Amino acid sequence: MAEEALSRAAGPDAFLVGGAVRDELLGRPVVDVDVACPDPEHAARAYRDDAGGAVFPLSERHGAWRVAFRGGRTVDFTPLREGIDRDLRTRDFTVNAVARPLGSSEYVDPLGGLPDLEARRLRAVSDEIFRDDPLRLLRGVRLEDELRFRLDPQTEELVRRDAALVGRPAGERILTELERLSERGFRRLDELGLLAPLGGSAAQAAGAEPADHPDYLLVAFLGEALLALPVSNETRRFAARVLAARPPADDSARAIHRFRRQTEPWALEALAYLGAGRHADAVRKARERDPGEPLLRGDELGVAAGPEIGRLLDLVEEERAVGAISTREEALELVRRELSRRT
């Protein structure tokens, strides 16, 4: 972060605020910068002219502007209308309510955020923070999870009091917070009563084993309820395959082939979700044996276009996978036998 450029753009009465100050004090990388200043639009355009990036209004209602850079880094300029003390009192947790004047090493801390940072404690700025913006219910758990902090007892009581509000924010905002949670974070949501209003539960993930997929925990803890959120088409396909999966009966080539046909390219994730990781080696070995080319194409079957072609090709693939056939001629003979059997 080039603070000199920020100072030139935002002017002498600007402050670094929010998560940027928190992360600076914790020795964490500062990726998303938040600057409170008298004229956010002018500051954003001036900073863009100095540092590059793309500038656009972040919130017309609140007068905030953003400069975005490649790689995901952002600098937000927010209006400072009634002084920095007033601004800090509108924030969520005291650790996010510390400011530093640009170009200075002194901190403004009217709410005791610095001692809370030292104690790794998340304390609400007021009793109304979750009612003012229910997304903060999820953010509190996410900050616990990412920073290894803990909600103080009074703030935890406020979370439980307002837990029913957790589904009110826009789905995109909810999803953004959920995507950043670890398994520990999801279990904390459940403990605080925040998962059930979203349609999820820790109980449905009780038998699930670990899996390395960015959407796996969302599926494991939310199940079908995930599809009510504005997820991508890819996430929707992943969830549908995993949630519909049934474990293979055994490690036989036929059982594994049928399981893979239902679940690939996410067969291993489906096994983990089902608590059936004991079949994972069989799936990996079957993948290694996958042929590069099919024995037959649909136009070689002599069958009119329709679902029968897919059924026959699936049959050929399965018999090849179990070692019953291995050549094109054997595949054609299998198709002929199948067609004669059905006529």
CB atoms within 10 A of CB 259: 24
pLDDT at residue 166 in the model: 98
Mean pLDDT score across all residues of the chain:
93
pLDDT at residue 60 in the model: 67
Q: State mean pLDDT over 126-137.
A: 97
Q: Output the CA angle 314-320-321, nearest 5 degrees.
A: 90
Asked if pLDDT for residue 125 goes beyond 80, the answer is: yes
- Per the confidence metrics, is the pTM higher than 0.85? yes
pLDDT at residue 78 in the model: 92
Question: Residue 163's closest CA among 183, 143, 140?
Answer: 140
- Percent of the chain's residues with pLDDT above 90: 76
- Percent of the chain's residues with pLDDT above 70: 99
- Using DSSP bridges, classify how beta strands 150-151 and 121-122 pair: parallel, antiparallel or unpaired: parallel
Model pLDDT for residues 246-290, shown as the tens digit of each residue: 999 999 999 999 999 999 999 999 999 999 999 999 999 999 999
Asked if pLDDT for residue 343 goes beyond 70, the answer is: no
pLDDT at residue 1 in the model: 52
Q: Which two tokens stand for residue 95?
A: 């650790």
Would you give the DSSP letter of residue 136? Answer: H
User: Can you tell me the distance from the alpha carbon of 44 to that of 39, in angstroms, rounded to the nearest whole number?
Assistant: 9
pLDDT at residue 242 in the model: 97
CATH architecture for residues 1-119: 2-Layer Sandwich (3.30)
Q: Which two tokens stand for residue 37?
A: 């200043």
Domain boundaries, the chain: 1-119, 295-343
User: Can you tell me the distance from the alpha carbon of 156 to that of 258, in angstroms, rounded to the nearest whole number?
Assistant: 47
Asked if pLDDT for residue 51 goes beyond 90, the answer is: no
Q: State mean pLDDT over 119-138.
A: 97
